Structure 1
């Protein structure tokens, strides 16, 4: 004999409208930026003193021209030692990565998390109308994820 349900038919709970959490909600807007003509030594000091692992490189019009990281600086130091060249002649413009992947500030934060996994990058600049407006890091995505509930993840 089967189990009989005596509760009757249940109504489905009203569906809540999903609230998108955007990259722009969690991006850093007060950025430490670099210039192409800065020395590598100056960039290294900025990275160390501000406890950051990299940052965007912009021109005088605040347009993104590259990104510099600790790894780029280490490579420059290594190359200078290997070729017996003084590091004082090295600039951010010479060491930076010039082809920079950016993401849209209107992207869902979880889509951004997926992009981090696919690209293995630590940060993405956000550009709007050709100008640098912010940056999102993996840590920013983690902060956003902690505010989400498991049943709202999409």
Structure 2
């Protein structure tokens, strides 16, 4: 059975936990991506920031939203306008909106398990780690390309 390290992309775009959202958005735009692992100084995965996290922040909120993954800043609809939220967001630390409960897989995880996680959790990408360190990333497209390349 094929394993994560055979499918993953090893040149991973990432941000440091000390970076601002400005650097995240810059990578989203320049690299045409929608999510980034957040790492500490030892390249350990400490979070994941996605375009969904950005949308939750800049969208209109009438109440504080708290769920198991996100703390969204209190914004009372008419009190703060959209452009001001955009400007405020740029200078925030990435960890203020990143998910801290990162779903990740080991470099030797089987592709069948990875496909199951991506499907059941409805996520687009999975960071891959080896000995606690980020070594790659696997997307839904990577799984499909590698799973069907010998069949079609």
TM-score by length of 1: 0.76
Mapped partners of 2:103, 2:34: distance in 1: 17
Flag structure 2 segments of 5+ consecutive residues without an equivalent.
62-72
Residue in 1 aligned with 2:5? 24
Q: 2:126 aligns with which of 121, 124, 127?
A: 124
Which contiguous aligned blocks of 4+ residues in structure 1 show a shift greater than 2 angstroms?
76-89
Aligned to 1:137: 139
Question: Deviations along 1:29-52, whole A, 9 cap, x unmatched?
Answer: 101111222221221111111011
What is the CA-CA distance between 1:81 and the residue it aligns to? Answer: 9.6
Cα distance, 1:74 vs. partner? 1.9
Contact 1:35–1:93 (CA<8 Å) still a contact in 2? no
Q: Which has the higher contact order (CA 8 A, sep 6+)?
A: 2
Per-residue deviation at 1:109?
1.4
Two-structure CA RMSD over aligned residues (Å): 2.0
**Aligned residues of 1:41 and 1:88 also touching (Cα < 8 A):** yes
Matched residue of 1:67: which SS? strand
Mapped contact 1:76–1:90 kept (Cα < 8 A): no
What TM-score comes out, normalization by structure 2 length?
0.77
Select the residue among 7, 11, 14 that pairs with 1:33. 14
